[in-house]
């Protein structure tokens, strides 16, 4: 496309995240999410028949990303707005049908994400065997902290992952409890999609998910990858 190209409506902005130790930012292409990746969360949701099912994936729109420190308005179309703390994998290279052994080569870094969920809509969709979009893929549903380059932070295979609401810890797990670990997720996803630089993968949440109210302060933390703080704003019309 020539630099002089013009558009008939305003072009979407490039979505990006800050990178620890760099003035340059991480541009976001796609946001994939893994469903059901910690046993204790599967059990609290009482939704899987086989607890070792292959991982499954859904997406959030990239412009659903909000940055650390943001206020996220309580969204429309729900009375059960919930958090899920998750390790985020940031893809840095093309990957298609890569093995588990090759997967780390495609990873740029890691971050903390919160998979915000309209739980009532998600359960409704599941009950009717409909896609999860209404429950998962809405505006501002993907808060994401800064990206830490691989090797510059914690170990994506182990380490505490926690979330607190108004200073009270509600979620606690360990990255080692993932049913499908980081390289297995990347390998699995790359069998179905071309992974490209800029892709993010939210890797599932441990037990302890729950609802929030306007005014709540939510802090996620993962060992070696910092923290992510958001505040829930007033209900949107």
DSSP 86: E
226: left (phi over 0), alpha (psi -120 to 50) or beta: left
Residue 110 near residue 153 (C-beta atoms within 8 A): yes
- Residue number, 98 or 212, with CB nearest to Mn ion: 212
Identify which of residues 55 and 224 has a Cβ nearer to Mn ion in the complex: 55
State the minimum distance, in angstroms, from the CB of residue 171 to Mn ion: 11
Contact residues for 29 (Cβ-Cβ < 8 A; gap 6+): 62, 196, 197, 198, 199
In the complex, minimum distance from the CB of residue 41 to Mn ion, in angstroms, rounded to a whole number: 8
Compute CA distances 45 → 9, 56, 84, 93, 166, whole Å.
Answer: 43, 16, 12, 34, 23
Tell the smallest beta-carbon distance from residue 172 to Mn ion (Å). Answer: 16
In the bound state with Mn ion, the residue whose beta carbon lies nearer, of 164 and 205, is: 205
Q: Which residues bind Mn ion (CB under 5 A)?
A: 84, 115, 205
Q: C-beta of 205: minimal distance to Mn ion in Å?
A: 5
Residue 38 Cβ vs Mn ion, minimum distance, rounded to whole Å: 10
Question: Between residues 84 and 199, which has the closer beta carbon with respect to Mn ion?
Answer: 84
Taking the least distance from each CB to Mn ion, the nearer of 98 and 209 is: 209
The answer to whether 115 and 33 have CB atoms below 8 angstroms apart is yes
Q: Alpha-carbon distance 38 to 144, whole Å? A: 20
In the complex, residue closest to Mn ion by CB:
115
């Amino acid at each position: 496309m020539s630099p002089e190209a013009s558009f008939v409506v305003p072009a979407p902005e490039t979505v990006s995240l800050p990178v620890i130790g760099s003035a340059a930012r991480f541009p976001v292409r796609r946001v994939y999410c893994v469903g059901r990746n910690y046993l204790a969360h599967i059990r609290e949701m009482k939704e899987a028949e086989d607890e070792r099912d292959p991982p499954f994936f859904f997406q959030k729109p990239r412009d659903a990303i909000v940055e650390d420190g943001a206020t996220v308005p309580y969204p429309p179309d729900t009375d059960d707005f919930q958090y899920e703390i998750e390790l985020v994998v940031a893809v840095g290279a093309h990957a298609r049908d890569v093995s588990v052994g090759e997967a780390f080569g495609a990873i740029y870094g890691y971050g903390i994400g919160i998979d915000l969920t309209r739980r009532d809509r998600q359960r409704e969709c599941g009950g009717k065997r409909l896609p999860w979009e209404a429950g998962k893929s809405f505006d501002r549903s993907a808060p994401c902290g800064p990206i830490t380059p691989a090797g510059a932070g914690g170990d994506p295979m182990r380490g505490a992952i926690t979330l607190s609401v108004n200073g009270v810890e509600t979620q606690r797990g360990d990255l080692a409890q993932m049913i499908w670990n980081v390289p297995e997720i990347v390998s699995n996803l790359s069998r179905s999609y071309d992974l490209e630089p800029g892709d993010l993968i939210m890797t599932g949440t441990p037990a302890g998910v729950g609802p929030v109210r306007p005014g709540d302060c939510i802090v996620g933390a993962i060992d070696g990858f910092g923290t992510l703080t958001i505040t829930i704003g007033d209900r949107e019309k």
